[in-house]
Structure 1
């Protein structure tokens, strides 16, 4: 049965919002370009919990990455079942989540700046996949599909630029930081300012709250270890994994739009 082409936007409101977000992104790019470079602080690698159990160095920070692998596998299965235009973006997100388990585990075995690249690289893929999926669900299906590849390339490029800048002795985290935090601004706006289509606003709020909690726990690494006997960074991994698990939970039901999906 022939199908009609996917629309770029769900409606005029979504098109205007997309234009506004693009303008905001352009302004942010200009601002970041004029900021001084942001080097990687070597103190970042000094985590509070250095205990070794069962022969595994930094055991808590290493093993707490295991949930990312589980979520990645389950999420890929759930995303593959969907018959919607955002499926590729969801698959990309969960590939990034699963790869984070490997990259972050590798980094935490012997934390240093060269290994940190392998921790951060898969996270950029996850951030960009999630952004494209939400854009497709809330703004327009063809837009989400079109954005996926450029966003993933930009995310990977930000991590590679940081790595090369470190190798050149002039470390610069500006673009990686933008890739990490810009979606946390754009996604709430896309969800709050558009009608619900499959992805509920309260689900996204929970995901963002868990991610914010993970950043707070990261900042309070040593105090949390003193208080609870488990480090803030270990709990940060668990909170971030919980955020990704909630995304998988969001996809547990077939998309209500599946019956109306058009295009391949």
Structure 2
């Protein structure tokens, strides 16, 4: 009985990854190349305060450092402060918080003098944080083995995507990589049952990511709307930093859904 269930789950996972691969190939074939451009480095707010170029775009990365370091230190305690049940989860959360803290340094360094060379240091830590967060979500929903394999695969893919963008002057892989978790997490939230409570925080986190991207796209419009106080790109940094805060609150308050899992084990034992 258990073997048949595992076989069905395994086939379902293979279908999911097969569909994902086909969608990725389709997008790469039908979409035009998106090259790097000097326009990508021209932000609405490029003011210089106290000798720091692009001051607000630089200092609004500071929240990433605070949340990232705090979460990383708490995870180093073996996950006792958070409700982390599996070793694979711990590795995923460590990488997520480490990537979040690295975003602060990489993005601040890039915004001091935006160009094609420095943008990789801004993009790569963010994509590592995305990949580890998505892999941890998969681990929670589908199991430790597939979660850890996704963690390794997605981190490698994040490095390859940024290298591809710089080598072939094409941003499509990076953009697809950031888009997939925003689509997959809400869908998988309803398809696969959670191991822990407070799973709604996953949806809130995705919502914050999407809002941050919208703020980045409306960089100049937001800057003009608030009388040139703060730009959309600076707000994107602040909004994106809320995502790891939401995840941290989830880890602090969630609990394992013991009744469901204990009943599942009893039923399997009886069968």
Q: Give the TM-score, by structure 1 length.
A: 0.86
Distance 2:27 2:178 in 1: 13
Match of 1:67 in 2: 63
List runs of 5+ in structure 1 lacking aligned partners: 1-6, 166-170
SS for the counterpart of 1:86 is helix
Distance 2:246 2:62 in 1: 16
1:141 to 139, 144, 147: 144
| Residue 93 in structure 1 maps to residue 91 in structure 2 | no
Higher relative contact order (CA 8 A, sep 6+): 1
Question: How far 1:77 moved relative to its partner?
Answer: 2.7
Distance 1:240 1:173 in 2: 20
Distance 1:53 1:89 in 2: 38
SS for the counterpart of 1:252 is helix
Match of 2:193 in 1: 195
Match of 1:243 in 2: 243
Question: How far 1:256 moved relative to its partner?
Answer: 2.4
Distance 2:166 2:197 in 1: 35
2:36 to 40, 47, 52: 40
Moved over 6 A (4+): none
8 Å contact kept, 2:96–2:133: yes
Q: Give the TM-score, by structure 2 length.
A: 0.84
Distance 1:150 1:255 in 2: 28
State the structure with more CA Rg.
2
Q: Which has the higher helix share?
A: 2
8 Å contact kept, 1:74–1:248: no
8 Å contact kept, 1:134–1:190: no
Distance 1:247 1:12 in 2: 32
List runs of 5+ in structure 2 lacking aligned partners: 262-271
Question: How far 1:227 moved relative to its partner?
Answer: 2.1
Number of aligned residue pairs: give it: 247
Moved more, 76-85 or 151-160: 76-85
Distance 1:107 1:136 in 2: 33
Moved more, 119-128 or 21-30: 21-30
